Amino acid sequence: MNGEARRALVASPTPAARAAEERLRAAYDFVPLEQANMIVALGGDGFMLQTLHSMLESRRILPIFGMNLGTVGFLMNEWRLERLDQRMQSAKPFKVTPLRMTVDTVDGERFSIPAINEVSLLRETRQTARLEVQVNGRTVLPDLVCDGVLVATPAGSTAYNLSAHGPILPLGSGLVALTPISPFRPRRWRGAILPENTTILFTVLDPVKRPVSAVADQREVRDVARVEVGIDRAIPLTLLFDPEHTLDDRIAAEQFIA
């Protein structure tokens, strides 16, 4: 990273993250968030997503160097107090392009919400969901009966998508994963890999008897009628990683974990 570094420091409310925050503030200089040109974030993947979404809402997008004080920390670097200046100067930037979910509810409300990992449609009751799936205006699945379905970015392909037996996508592949969750019909359909410029439209076929919710990362809209999902190129995000432990290396390594 070149130029003058004006770092802000943010931390999740967990005891471990707060303790690490105190140690960093005692050892390094930080500026208020509104004066910063980069952010150091302490926590886990959930806190990183929360921080990224806060930037998307404010439209003030800054590079983020995360350090893991959570559980998995897939989007984070290793926590270390030492050599923060050198680590940030040599950090490798990765662009992450979020999805945007546009939702129409049964009651006629409309919501537009970004998603960094995935957009998921999930049944709300014990009744399975019934969905029509269109890709770029063409109906590819006229009646998908399932517990749900999701669209994942490469950065999110190792999260919920992987748990649902979806494919791992290399960063920079220009692809998204369309993955069913417990499909009942058609039984043999296991999902699709699509170009990232694809527009996917889900229509809920029986929204009263079989209600469906739509979730963009951690934000949920209930009782949806239609959900359109596509890449939002207007707001790319930048994550900073140590050169020896980068996001594309992690994504590749996940493919060999039993």
d(C-alpha 101, C-alpha 78), whole Å: 32
Annotated binding residue 105: no
Burial class (CB in 10 A: 0-12, 13-18, 19+), 125: exposed
Annotated binding residue 160: yes
Q: Tell me if 215 sits within 8 A of 224, measured CB to CB.
A: no
Q: Tell me if 236 sits within 8 A of 62, measured CB to CB.
A: no
Annotated binding residue 172: no
Annotated binding residue 159: yes
CA atoms within 13 A on the CB side of 197: 0
Annotated binding residue 3: no
For this structure, is 45 an active site residue? yes
Q: Residue type at 39?
A: I
Q: Tell me if 91 sits within 8 A of 65, measured CB to CB.
A: yes
Annotated binding residue 28: no
Annotated binding residue 12: no
Q: Tell me if 81 sits within 8 A of 23, measured CB to CB.
A: yes
Annotated binding residue 118: yes
Annotated binding residue 46: yes
Annotated binding residue 41: no
Annotated binding residue 150: no
Q: Residue type at 195?
A: P
Reduced to 3 states, what is the DSSP secondary structure of residue 154?
Answer: coil
Q: What number of other Cβ atoms are within 10 A of residue 35's Cβ?
A: 10
Annotated binding residue 147: yes
* DSSP letters spanning 177-200: EEEEEEEEESTT---EEEETT--E
Single out the catalytic residue among 45, 107, 242, 248. 45
Q: Residue 19 corresponds to which tokens in the numbers above? A: 């303790």
* Residues that are catalytic: 45
Summarize the annotated binding site for NAD(+) as residue ranges.
Answer: 45-46, 117-118, 147, 155, 158-163
